[in-house]
A = this chain, B = another copy of it.
Amino acid sequence: MITLKQLAKELNVSISTVSKALNNSDEIGKETIKRVKELAEFYNYKPNKVALSLKQNKTKTIGVIIPDILNYYLAKVLFGIEREASEYGYNIITCISNESLEKEKESLQLLANGSVDGFILSLAKETQIKGEIAHFNRTIESGLPIVMFDRVAHDVICDKVIVDDFEATYNATKNLLAEKRKQIAFISSIDSLSVGKLRERGYIKAISETTTHQPLLLKMSNKKECSKKIKSFFKKNKTIDGIIAADSASGIISVNTAVNLGLSVPKNISVIAFGSKSVSYHSIPQLTTIRQHAKKIGSIAAQQLIKRLELKNAEKMEVTTKIVKTSLVKSKSTL
């Protein structure tokens, strides 16, 4: 990489002249500016990012910590974050906590050495189970703002972007009830997550408000066993005619299993699941899904963080919690 120093030497001017010329300072003569710019162009000069960061005490880099990059939803949020950030000239450093509290702490710690200006993150499963939040507070106190999305720690005072999980399943369940379904079950493989619990509560509320039958729940911890568990669940409960699935895998497997058992979807049984468009193609008939607008969540989170970073007296800015509304996209697995 070519430096100002080298340019200055070759042009027989001082470093500061070159710097000013490249920044179009009106202190510098037109002729000089032209000469400098030409040579810079010739050598494809780019100001060294590290030096700039050191000087200006900000890196234009955001640390993103996500629990699982193989989760389609989380990957999509990341996509949204990246796009928005790069729009504003920010880079993102990605760390994957792999659902581990330890790795989450470590990443936070590691990047808090001047590598990033702030964080966007979603809590690791283990963090949610153990309820630890001290590491977040420490980070915020040290001057690095955090924006949390989806799986958030309510007790930490910071900006948050969440989904209306409770309402989403509440409405979805109501929707199946409106189809005159009599026995609606809730299937989840994300029971340990805050969002999983919210979704369950939305379902339970709708059921207990409207019907007399008990909520019917199938909760699984292991994705591997989903197929078997769902199959035996269906066999045991022959009267089920509706499914609310808290995650897309459960939804897809429910439809495919029902069809496989000779049930007609949606004639005998309707299925609604959290999930994206592309995953909806994985079942025949195609799955009716609750869309979370993951990209939007990502871009809102990025906007929020950048706004705070570029504010003069950021402390004075109140923290906000933005709720991104889901939409129910009807397809072929419901009436």
Binding site for B on A (CB under 8 A): 1, 46-51, 53-54, 59, 61, 69-70, 72, 75-76, 78-79, 82-83, 86, 91-96, 98, 110-115, 142-143, 223, 226-227, 249, 252-253, 256-257, 259-260, 278, 281-284, 286
Contacts and interface: CB of A to CB of B under 8 A. Distances in A.
Nearest to A142: B1
B76 A70 contact: yes
A82 B94 CA distance: 8
B284 A46 contact: no
B79 A69 contact: yes
A94 B96 contact: no
Given A69-B75, A70-B79, A82-B96, A50 B115 contact: yes
A104 to B, nearest CB: 12
A106 to B, nearest CB: 9
A129 B256 CA distance: 37
B94 A47 contact: no
B227 A281 contact: yes
A111 B60 CA distance: 12
Contacts of A249: 278, 281
B96 A79 contact: yes
Contacts of A46: 112-114
B1 A114 contact: yes
A253 B48 CA distance: 49
A48 B73 CA distance: 34
A249 B277 CA distance: 13
Contact of A256 (B112, B226, B256): B256
A254 to B, nearest CB: 11
A94 B94 contact: yes
The 4 closest A-B pairs by CB, nearest first: A46-B113, A48-B114, A282-B282, A49-B113
A49 B226 contact: no
A110 B110 CA distance: 24
Contacts of A53: 50
Contacts of A51: 54, 114
A46 B108 CA distance: 13
Nearest to A111: B91
Contacts of A54: 48, 50-51, 54
A139 to B, nearest CB: 11
B113 A48 contact: yes
A245 to B, nearest CB: 14
B115 A49 contact: yes
A91 B59 CA distance: 14
B50 A114 contact: yes
19 contacts: A1-B114, A46-B113, A46-B114, A49-B113, A50-B50, A50-B54, A50-B59, A70-B79, A72-B72, A82-B96, A83-B96, A83-B98, A91-B110, A92-B94, A93-B93, A94-B94, A227-B284, A256-B282, A259-B284
Contact of A93 (B1, B61, B79): B61
A108 B75 CA distance: 22
Contacts of A111: 91
Contacts of A281: 223, 226-227, 249, 253
Contacts of A70: 72, 75-76, 79, 278
